[in-house]
Homo-oligomer: A and B are copies of this chain.
């Protein structure tokens, strides 16, 4: 196993951990779960204290840190450590702070920050998953090679804006923006399942891996504007005349369950992903999400991995059809808090924090 550079040891003297995160993305769930496990909570927000928490008393952070910009969080790191803060990252936390700033933030943080280098680079992500034996949509090397539908993503594209579908080289050339870096992959037709896993390196029982155990806490599907409802206007081909093009911006989530006979495959993929991550960079610790398409041949294709809590878990603040079979009412937010609590009790915080 690869060693992890860590600020987790800063938490070893904590008596009364405060769970902190940025006030967005899945923060209601993270605070709710932390409160359920008896932690104090701290919300980090820009400019002023967000009011919407007032409507959700069971998820309202006990304290706030108001900053002028997310980059400023680093300036408060010593103070936050003094306040016994453990940060729980989510997609917006990392995006707002910037991956580089996040990586060197001198604050005990839930999970393994080394995963970022592997997750944020499309090539390294593909290397991780395919070397683990996880099936992915085929990569198309050159636009000239497009001879069936493909999905094109710009590098660093945020939340699906700017992605597009092309069915041949002409359509690619008509849609591509010059000067942008892109990746082309096979467009897989099927239904999408976002598999919400949790990997605990310190668990004893359950679905055992070489170290610790793997859990499945829920499955969601993302809502995307405008692709999801665009068809109501008529055929896409006609809409081009009106300059209406499909976009893939995530606006929300809905709950789903997966055909049970696919669960063994799902766990196999989750297991391979974790085992390879242990080998490559010390492990993807805590929640991660395999974003999959299931084809009509009942085969999975994993088109992306998110190596932290995903917003799709927000549906399941009071449990899911899967987590309820682990412990009734368990959410990913609560599971994170539970992991911190368990690690603290057993003197293993440095195993789950970096």
Partner-B contacts on A (CB < 8 A): 24-28, 32, 50-52, 54-59, 92, 148-149, 161, 165, 167, 187, 189-193, 205-208, 213-216, 219, 221, 223-238, 242, 244, 246-247, 249-264, 266-267, 294-298, 311, 314-319, 321-322, 324-328
Contacts and interface: CB of A to CB of B under 8 A. Distances in A.
Given A259-B311, A264-B51, A191 B252 contact: yes
Given A192-B229, A229-B192, A235-B236, A207 B267 contact: no
Contacts of A236: 234-235
B233 A267 contact: no
Contacts of A244: 149, 189
Contact of A242 (B26, B167, B238): B167
Contact of A257 (B50, B232, B256, B314): B314
Q: Most chain-B Cβ atoms within 10 A of its Cβ — which of A161, A192, A225?
A: A225
Nearest to A263: B52
Nearest to A90: B260
A interface, by DSSP: helix, strand, loop or mixed?
mixed
Nearest to A189: B226
Contacts of A223: 191, 256
A192 B315 CA distance: 16
A255 B315 contact: yes
Contact of A318 (B247, B249, B259, B319): B319
B148 A264 contact: no
A326 B54 CA distance: 9
A256 to B, nearest CB: 5
13 contacts: A24-B260, A24-B261, A26-B260, A51-B207, A55-B207, A56-B325, A57-B205, A189-B226, A189-B233, A190-B251, A192-B229, A315-B321, A316-B321
A158 to B, nearest CB: 11
Contact of A255 (B51, B215, B255): B255
Given A235-B237, A254-B255, 9 more contacts: A27-B260, A28-B325, A52-B267, A56-B322, A92-B261, A190-B251, A253-B256, A257-B315, A318-B328
